[in-house]
Structures are given as structure tokens and as C-alpha cells.
Structure 1
Amino acid sequence: MSYETDAVKPGNLKEDDIIIAIMGPTGCGKSQIIDLLTGQPGRRAKDTLQSVTKDVTAFRVLNHETHGSHIVLVDTPGFDDVDRSDKEILEMISAWLVKTYKRKLVLAGVIYLHRISDLRMSEAPHRNLRMFGELSGNKSAKKVVLATTMWDKVCDIAEGEKRESALKEKYWNVMLHHGAVVERFLNTPESAWAVINKLVERERNKSALLLQEELLDLGKRLNETNAGKALYLDLQILVAKQNKTIQPDVEKPQETEKDMHALLQSADKILREAESLRIPLRRKVARFIGNVIGKK
């Protein structure tokens, strides 16, 4: 069945709306699940692992036979977007959450998507998960559904179940301990609505996300929040990794020069992001750049 949708701004949300945010890494199926929930396959999703979600966008599902026009789906970009930095994504998501929380509106739930087709938890999905955990907080875990996607890409269902068990035991154990639940999104409308209904049927949790409480209730700046600190840690880790990347090759000086140039550009980007977040990383990165130049 196809439902009409209406793009909705934070100022047009209502107290009785069931607001559900959909989060996860780029290419995990966020746009796909929204397409199936609205009966509009292919409208937003593309057959690509590149990001198709450029902004935080909310869609109201109109005239659903059970939920009427109260379901609002919030599509969010992942923290591994190739066009924008994690800092920009965090600022974008936090701005939307602040606008809604100022109106005393809280999310009814959050769906976090993860590709079961991934052989292992690589760096980008791991970073997304860590940022999501710091953004939502343990107190809001009861409103979280951890949904695995792309089961149709797994040749052996037993292998998929093995990966799912590993996610529960190693990466999702803290959130599960605090009340999150696991579901499978099987790329069908029925499966998509089963995930939504899992949230709707649960006791309505009125708590805000940790990031909302930190920014408004506690008056913290973005870099002082748990999510902001996690981003700062990621920057530190990136600098440390890059510091080990370039080793001068006397036999290929042009290749070394090229690698150093790319490295310096990346380090400069980190420096600008840290400065805009007002995080005291400037001195460390400046020292790192000096060390790299000194190798030449």
C-alpha cells in the first residue's frame, strides 16, 4: 500500500506525533526503509553505498490505517559522509534535536541500522555506532531498536546469524543491557512496519536523548557533550594514525612528496574542525605537521 508523505519542519511537529529517527552508517538502508514504510520504493534510496541523505529531513506518513497521520520519520546522514565531516553531521543532527526539544517534543524512538552483510565491524560503522551511543545515552536505550539490514546479501543465513550474535555480544551489549531491542529488516514493507510497531508498542519513554539534555538542560557547548568528546577522540586517533602513515622512501621521492602533501591537507582539515569546535587540539596538530615537514 502506498501512503502519501509530507515533509515536515520541526516547528510543524505536534505533541501527539510519534517521531522516530532513523540513524546508521552511509549505505545501511535508511532511505530504503523509509521508501518501504511509505510504499514508495526507489523514491529516495539508490543502489549505492554513497550517501543519498544530505540533510536531516522529516517525513509525515499520512492516512495510515492504524496510526493515522501521527508517524513522523526522521532521516539522518551517517557519520561517514564523503562530502561532509563528522563535525558537520553532528552539528546538523544536534541542531534538529535542539529545535524539537525546545518545543518539549521528544523522540518516540530511534532505529539504528547496521548491514549484516558486512564481514566485520569496520572503522566507519564502528565510529557511527560509538557516536550514536554517546548521542543517545543509556537512559534512552529503551527507545532504541537495533535493526540489521541487507539479509538478502548474505548467502548463508547461518553466517548472518553468527554475525548478529557477535553484534549483540561485542558491540551492542551495553545498549541491550539498558533496554534496547534487536530486529531484522528484511527489505519488505511488512518487515519495515514490524520494526516501527516494535517501537510504538513499547511503553512510551518520555526521556530525551542525552545530547538534548546536555545541550539544553545542562547548558553545555557541543564540544563539551559526550558526542562532542567522542568526536574529539576520533580526531586524536586520526592524527595518531596519520603520524605513522608516511615513511620517506629515498628511492621514490616523488611518491613520498605526494603522500606528504595529501597527509598535510588532511591534517589541516582536522585542525580547522578542531578550531571550530574550540577543542584544544591546535598545538598537537601543529606539532604533528612540523614533525612531518621535518622528515623531508
Structure 2
Amino acid sequence: MSVYFVLYRPEKVHTSDTSKLIDMLTGQQTSLAGAPLESCTQAVSAIRVKKHPVHKDHIILLDTPGFDDTFKSDFQILQMISDWLVEIYKKKARLTGILYLHRITDNRMAGSPHRNLRMFGDLCGDKAARNVVLVTTMWDKLRSRDIGDRRQEELERNFWNPMIKNGATTTQFENTVQAAWEIIDNVIIRRNEGVALLLQEEIVDLKLRLEETKAGREVYATLQALQSKQKETLEQLANRAATEDDKKIAAELHEELRNLQKELEKTFKEMQKLHIPLGRKVAMFFNRKTKAKRKKLAPAPA
């Protein structure tokens, strides 16, 4: 029986972190290591660990593409991850561990890191949290160990606390083969049963479309916020361009306006893909109510 681990890296800059961990677990160098500037993993990669003295050939690592990709939208990345997860779920495979990698060198959780953490939570759900390991990486790059300890404490207290309350654990990856295997072994010892992610249950069991899942709705909410910000910036630039006397500066502002208008159109198109029609929302609502009623009225065992 195979044991599946998902290595979830929230952003493209996490590529080298994941690759180091995979290299140490497999004993071979992947083509992903050392490429932090653009997202190298364009699809979910399945890597089987071979000839392990204890686990033999049973461990399979699923390396997910990072969000904030250079060439793909967040929804496209979510679609790729979803396709893989749904495929293995239909084959009755369950996930023994989900590793969330976070660089301890990052001193802020604002913007993308915080948004991607919410996305991760929506993808996993509360039930799967017990199989989640929140892994901090790049400890060897810190000037002071105390700085890392303070950041780890802040992460656990202010950002990771909901998942920890639902059973998730935390650990530090010290960039050694021993440390890499300790993470895997501890999960196997602690959780010998696999778990289904919320996204898998929503799509396969509840028959939801990807845009209707909790993770899909998070992507839509992010696009709404981005669209609002783009419109505000567009209005400000238009006002500046209209009142600018310097022709050169005015021309530069108009060029910025054209570029931003293209970005706004791109955002709008992405939102259209994720929009749920009113009729579908009503059908989803009554479908859930019916399922809940059936569950409530099910006869008690004799």
C-alpha cells in the first residue's frame, strides 16, 4: 500500500525549499533545485521514494505548483492541483501527510503569504488538519537563531493557531537528510491512516464544480479585491493624466493607464470563469439542505 505525502509550497519562491527536501528524501538531485525566480513546477509532480530500508517503495511525494506563478493564474494552479487530488481520491488513495513549507527568513505575513495560507486552509479543511505538518525552512540562512524562534512563535500564535487547534503539528527543517526523514517518519508514526482533503470531498462526494468549492471561492474573493484596487488605481492615474501639463509625464501616465486597463480586463476574464450563476447557487443551497435533512432523519440502528 502506497503512502502519499503532499508537499505544498504556497508561492513560486518556495521551489528550492521543496526541491531540497525532495532531493534528500529520494537521494537524487531534481531539476527544480536552485531556481527561485520563476516557477519551475508547471504541474503536480509525483515522485516515488525507492529502496528505503523501512518503507521500501511505498512513499510517494506529490509536489504541487506554487501559487503566484509567473505564467499561470491562481485558478489554473488550483485546477492542476485539484485534478491530481481528485484522481487519487477516486482511486481510494488517501493522504498520510500534507507538508506546508514556510521560509523562516520571511519577516512578514502580509499580502500573498497570508492569502496563500488561507487558500491552504480552505483546500484542506478542518478534518484533514490532523495530518498537516507546518514546516519552517531556511533556518541556516538566519543571522540569529533567536530571530527564527521569535518568528516561529509568532506564526504559531497568530497565523497557524486555527490549524494547530485542529490537530496540525509544526516542525523545523534543518536542511539535512536526517531532518527530512524525521518529518516523514513522525507523520507515519503519528498518523497511520490517510485522510481526505475538503477539496476532494467537495468535488467527488458533493459533486461541486471547482469554482464552487471553498478554495475556489477564496480565489474569486481575491480577484474581487484585486479588481477593486485596480479600478481605484486606474481612476487616480486618469485624474493625474488629465491634469498633467508636462507632455512627457502625461504620455508616461497614459502608457501606465493602458497597461493597467489590460490587467483589469485580465482580472475580469478570470472572475467570469469563477462566477456562479444565481440559479446554480439556489440549486446548491437546496441540495445541501436536502442532504442535511436525509442525514438527520436516517433511522437509528436496531
Give the TM-score taking structure 1 as reference length: 0.86
Asked which structure has the greater CA Rg, the reply is: 2
The whole-number CA distance in structure 2 between the counterparts of 1:49 and 1:185 is 22
Q: Is the 8 A contact 1:59 1:74 kept in 2?
A: yes
Q: Is the 8 A contact 1:149 1:184 kept in 2?
A: yes
Q: Counterpart of 1:182 in 2: which secondary structure?
A: strand
**Residue 2 of structure 2 corresponds to which residue in structure 1?**
17
1:143-222 equivalences under 5 Å are 143-222=131-210
Counterpart AA for 2:225: I
- Is 1:276 paired with 2:264? no
**Residue 114 of structure 1 corresponds to which residue in structure 2?**
102
Q: Is the 8 A contact 2:231 2:264 kept in 1?
A: no
Cα pair distance change 1:49/1:160, threshold 3 Å: farther
- The correspondence for 2:117, drawn from 120, 125, 129, is 129
1:1-296 equivalences under 5 Å are 16-24=1-9, 25-28=11-14, 29-41=17-29, 43-246=31-234, 247=236, 248-249=239-240, 250-251=243-244, 252-279=249-276
**Residue 285 of structure 1 corresponds to which residue in structure 2?**
none
Q: Is the 8 A contact 2:96 2:195 kept in 1?
A: no
From the two aligned structures, give the one with the greater helix fraction: 2
Aligned residue pairs: how many?
266
Give the TM-score taking structure 2 as reference length: 0.84
Counterpart AA for 1:45: A
Structure 1 gaps of 5+ residues are 1-15, 281-296
Identity, % of aligned positions: 45
Pairwise CA distance, 1:62: 0.7
The whole-number CA distance in structure 1 between the counterparts of 2:116 and 2:41 is 15
The whole-number CA distance in structure 2 between the counterparts of 1:81 and 1:21 is 19
Query: Which contiguous aligned blocks of 4+ residues in structure 1 show a shift greater than 4 angstroms?
Result: none
Structure 2 gaps of 5+ residues are 278-302
RMSD (Å), alpha carbons: 1.6
Counterpart AA for 1:100: I
The whole-number CA distance in structure 1 between the counterparts of 2:210 and 2:233 is 30
- With 119-128 and 61-70 compared, the bigger mean Cα shift is at 119-128
